[in-house]
Structure 1
Amino acid sequence: MGVGERIRHCRRAGGYTQRGLAEEIGVTESAIRNYELGLRTPGEFQLKAIARALDVAPESLADVGPESARGALEMVFRLEGEMGFRPVETEGGICIAIDPKAEGSQKISQALRAWKRMRERLEAGEVSEEEYEAWKASFKGW
């Protein structure tokens, strides 16, 4: 899903029309339409304004992440140094653990615990898929 598709999804989930969102952030309706169609990409300032209006994290709208397994591995390599990620082998396979002594590890650990709790609520049927996706988009646990 691209930036435009994520904007459209969050806009609709937030009950905005294209015109309403445009008015909220001070751009034209056609700008929002072009973003959603992928004809234009919002700049950082516009993306932050859209996220603020939709009450979601800007990162939930932006293109982030790898395009390949190697790209994903590169992200993990970088997180090893920045957040203390470590590979751990379990009976179920390979997973990633966080070194509690690493700088920054407390915040990521708290965020992952919050994610685990919400994921468990989804699997237990306590929240819908839409509520779960909205929670992820609006999570600002830092």
Structure 2
Amino acid sequence: MGVGERIRALRRSAGLTQKELAASIGLTESAVRNYELGLRTPSDDQLAAMADSIGVAPEALMDIRVESARQALEVLFRMEDTLGLVPQSDGDSIGLGIDPEAEQAPIMHQSLVAWKRMRDGLEDGTVTPDEYAAWKASFTA
């Protein structure tokens, strides 16, 4: 899903029209429409303003494409360097852990615990898919 599609989906989820979103951040309705259609690309400042108006984290609107195993590994390699994420083996399965010596380890650990709690709620039915999607879009570490 590209930036425009994410803007549209999260804007609609927040119950905003293109006109309302545009007015809240000082843009024209056609500018928002062009972003959603992928005809134009919003600046980082515009993305941040839209995210604030929609009530989500700016990262929720950003285009982060991971379409292959190699691209996923590159993201994980970078997470190893910055967040201390490391591969771990438990018999036949492979998972990810956090190097407790990494500078960002405590924040990463807390974030993963929160994600696990929400994911468990999704699986046991105490959290709806819409609530889970909204949580992911608005989560900040």
**Secondary structure of 2:102 counterpart:** coil
Alignment partner, residue 105 of structure 2:
105
Alignment partner, residue 137 of structure 1:
137
Alignment partner, residue 30 of structure 1:
30
Whole-Å separation in 2 of the counterparts to 1:75 and 1:110: 20
Identity of aligned residues (%): 56
**Secondary structure of 1:86 counterpart:** strand
TM-score (norm 1): 0.94
Alignment partner, residue 63 of structure 1:
63
Whole-Å separation in 1 of the counterparts to 2:11 and 2:138: 13
Unaligned runs of 5+ in 2: none
Whole-Å separation in 1 of the counterparts to 2:78 and 2:124: 34
Unaligned runs of 5+ in 1: none
TM-score (norm 2): 0.95
Map 1:1-142 → 2, pairs under 5 A: 1-91=1-91, 93-141=93-141
Count of residues in correspondence between the two structures: 141
Moved more, 52-61 or 77-86: 77-86
- Spell out structure 1 runs of 4+ moving beyond 6 A: none
CA-atom RMSD, angstroms? 1.1
